[in-house]
Structure 1
């Protein structure tokens, strides 16, 4: 969540405040300048979220929280 509020939200707010140019080439320049940095930080957030999920799963598994019920045979 820190990266979202520290990086992506301010970038989104700056983009919203940017005047939309009349010509498509200028609009494309603005988008390219914005999107490369935004995508980088979005990937960092995704990797961090995946690592946090994996850590939580490993912690739960190693603590015995994820015990499977015993198998029952059907007669």
Structure 2
């Protein structure tokens, strides 16, 4: 199951910023990141800032307030 979260700002691993932005997660890894245009069904609003960082295995993870965001399933 994919978890879809949105925030006021999403900053990717290169430092590029989206205002507002959406992050799709599969488990503990990011599967997609894109700007938020209008209301999107099944999207959880987290607010604040989500930072995307590369993990030790080379895959991307999303962080909110210093904690990894994971898929709830």
Length-normalised TM-score, structure 2? 0.18
Query: Highest CA radius of gyration, 1 or 2?
Result: 1
TM-score for the superposition, normalised by structure 1: 0.18
Larger relative helix fraction: 1
